[in-house]
């Protein structure tokens, strides 16, 4: 090992294992299976988000093996390591959900930490749930080494075309008295049939599609069933692809450009994707050094229609989109209409246009993706709202099915639990605008998703009669007249902190405004009387997060440059 020729692809691993001064390093690695030949190969770290605490990630251990095998087959040395994941579906509606968005930063930190320490030359990251996917991309972006992201794949539908949101909404229906405990238990037992991420165009499938459009996944990776030969082949190919990227020194900073992010936003809008994509794409762009703001979503949304009839607002599930060809034919349609940037580089080493050149259109008769001349909605469903309630902006998902304007009387709550109790006991009634505050990035801390209250509203039959606004977030499975990410958040003295029960709030998704009917003088009077609440946590990861996290309008990241 003293005269190993320097391989330019090994610029990170060579200092760790080459030469007599690194005998101790090699000795440690021999104990985990390295051979003399392995020390001469580029090392590819395989970041696995496997755990058996959630179906989204319960199969990723075997996918990681496939990715490692692919790296080995292409002349590299795959090294598997784990990072954490949490389950939004399990934690929703509890104090534990405050750790959800925090986990995105922990995952990015951990991938950067392991790869930076161990000297991996390239990486494959495999994610399968809402926060570990953007967390993986942020870790890869920080390292800026040749990398490929692999989506763990979507779950299959449950009995009766059900999924996790069906269970949440059944809970609301039971609270209302529409179904009994036996019916609720039947849905609970059959809605989640096995491994894979939640089955609609919720946050996981939204982010998988966005990452493929961004160019950081191999073509087709976002639209494969978790339990399939295709997904194993995708992982194997990703491991191989990293060696090609190493050969050409193609790194995330070459792929994750401003135009690539615009492509990702375009695909998210066309698919009717989750509001969380706004938060995560801004965070990912910030990490790679690309300027992206709420206003970019508005500008792109004016020219890009919603094409997909996918849950939660539509009918179909991701597995049904997989069956008709995934998102590639839709991307080809968008490209042909000059709605995508053709020359963006991707992890194949080719441009987006080159990847899509041979893609065939969808078969005639399919009902999932509408043609451009007959869209589900002619403009974006993701609305960036501004006004005296949200001077720095807020994010709404308005498909039009719930209307485009809502005006009602504020019913104010200072926590999700408080709001949930009042929904369940019938206090919340038609015409209310629920205000759930002190749930922002700092105030929560952690910006909890509001899937439990929005599902309860739907389950009680109030979906078109009640609006909900919050400085927290929404699950990709939430639907109805909902507005999140209100900034500045209440904990920082944002106007949401000044609203009282009975104030009239108006949300207009055509004018893109969110206003409370109070004069500037009245708002100033209330602000003078307002006192910032004490932090809910003073030690531990939630306290550290609250001290370092940025506004939702800048992605709720913890490492903004000074």
DSSP string for residues in 190-217: HS--SSSB-SSSSHHHHHHHHHHHHTSS
Give 497's DSSP letter. Answer: G
Among 173, 174, 168, 132, residue whose Cα is nearest residue 150: 132
- 292 neighbors 145 (Cβ within 8 angstroms): no
Report the alpha-carbon angle 313-318-319, nearest 5: 140
Instruction: Answer yes or no: are the C-beta atoms of 330 and 270 closer than 8 Å.
Output: yes
Query: Which of 272, 261, 312, 316 has the alpha carbon at shortest distance from 137?
Result: 261
Q: At 122, is the secondary structure helix, strand, or coil?
A: strand
Catalytic residue among 209, 475, 478, 551: 475
What is the separation of C-alpha 17 from the centre of its chain, rounded to a whole number of angstroms?
Answer: 37
Contacts of 301 (CB under 8 A, 6+ apart): 269, 379, 380, 382, 383
Contact 509, 516 (CB under 8 A): no
Q: Rounded to an integer, what distance in angstroms lies between the CA atom of residue 189 and that of residue 183?
A: 10
Dist. CA 528–CA 522, nearest whole Å: 10
Q: Which residues contact 527 (CB under 8 A, 6 or more apart)?
A: 493, 498
What tokens appear for 175 in the block? 């609270």
Q: Is 16 helix (H, G, I), strand (E, B) or coil?
A: helix
Give me the residue label for tokens 């307002």.
530
Does residue 475 carry a catalytic annotation?
A: yes
Active site amino acids? 475
């Amino acid at each position: 090992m003293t005269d190993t020729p320097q391989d330019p692809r090994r610029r990170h691993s060579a200092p760790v294992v080459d030469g007599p001064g690194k005998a101790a390093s090699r000795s440690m690695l021999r104990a985990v299976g390295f051979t003399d030949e392995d020390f001469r190969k580029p090392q590819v770290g395989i970041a696995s988000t496997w755990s058996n605490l959630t179906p989204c990630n319960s199969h990723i251990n075997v996918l990681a093996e496939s990715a490692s095998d692919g790296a080995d087959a292409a002349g590299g040395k795959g090294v598997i390591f784990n990072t954490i994941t949490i389950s939004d579906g399990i934690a929703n509606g509890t104090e534990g959900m405050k750790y959800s968005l925090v986990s995105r930063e922990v995952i990015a930190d951990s991938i950067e930490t392991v790869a930076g320490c161990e000297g991996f030359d390239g990486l494959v990251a495999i994610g399968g749930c809402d926060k570990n996917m953007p967390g993986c991309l942020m870790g890869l972006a920080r390292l800026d080494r040749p990398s490929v992201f692999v989506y763990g794949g979507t779950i299959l539908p449950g009995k009766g075309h059900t999924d996790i949101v069906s269970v949440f909404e059944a809970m609301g229906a039971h609270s209302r008295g529409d179904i009994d405990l036996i019916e609720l238990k039947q849905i609970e037992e059959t809605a989640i049939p096995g491994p894979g991420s939640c089955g609609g165009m919720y946050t996981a499938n939204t982010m998988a599609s966005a990452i493929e459009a961004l160019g950081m996944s191999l073509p087709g990776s976002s639209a494969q069933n978790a339990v399939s030969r295709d997904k194993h082949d995708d992982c194997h190919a990703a491991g191989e692809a990293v060696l090609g990227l190493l050969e050409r020194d193609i790194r995330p900073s070459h792929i994750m450009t401003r135009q690539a992010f615009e492509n990702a936003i375009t695909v998210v809008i066309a698919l009717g994707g989750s509001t969380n994509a706004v938060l995560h794409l801004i965070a990912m762009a910030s990490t790679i050094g690309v300027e992206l703001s709420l206003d970019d979503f508005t500008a792109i949304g004016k020219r890009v229609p919603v094409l997909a009839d996918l849950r939660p607002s539509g009918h179909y599930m991701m597995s049904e989109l997989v069956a008709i060809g995934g998102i590639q034919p839709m991307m080809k349609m968008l490209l042909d209409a000059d709605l995508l940037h053709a020359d963006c580089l991707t992890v194949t080493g080719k441009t987006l246009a080159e990847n899509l050149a041979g893609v065939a259109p969808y078969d005639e008769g399919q009902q999932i993706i509408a043609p451009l001349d007959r869209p589900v909605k002619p403009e974006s469903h993701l609305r960036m709202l501004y006004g005296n309630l949200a001077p720095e902006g807020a994010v709404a998902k308005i498909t039009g099915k719930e209307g485009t304007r809502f005006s009602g009387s504020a019913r104010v709550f200072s926590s999700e639990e408080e709001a949930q109790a009042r929904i369940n006991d019938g206090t919340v009634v038609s015409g209310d605008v629920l205000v759930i505050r002190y749930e922002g990035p700092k105030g929560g801390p952690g910006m909890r998703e509001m899937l439990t209250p929005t599902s309860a509203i739907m389950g009680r039959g109030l979906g078109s009669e009640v609006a909900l606004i919050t400085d927290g977030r929404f699950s990709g499975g939430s639907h109805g007249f909902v507005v999140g990410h209100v900034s500045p958040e209440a904990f920082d003295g944002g106007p949401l902190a000044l609203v009282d029960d009975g104030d009239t709030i108006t949300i207009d998704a055509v004018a893109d405004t969110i206003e409370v009917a109070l004069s500037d003088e009245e708002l100033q009077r209330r602000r003078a009387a307002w006192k910032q609440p004490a932090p809910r946590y003073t030690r531990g990861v939630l306290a550290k997060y609250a001290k370092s996290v940025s506004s939702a309008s800048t992605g709720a990241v913890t490492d903004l440059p000074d």
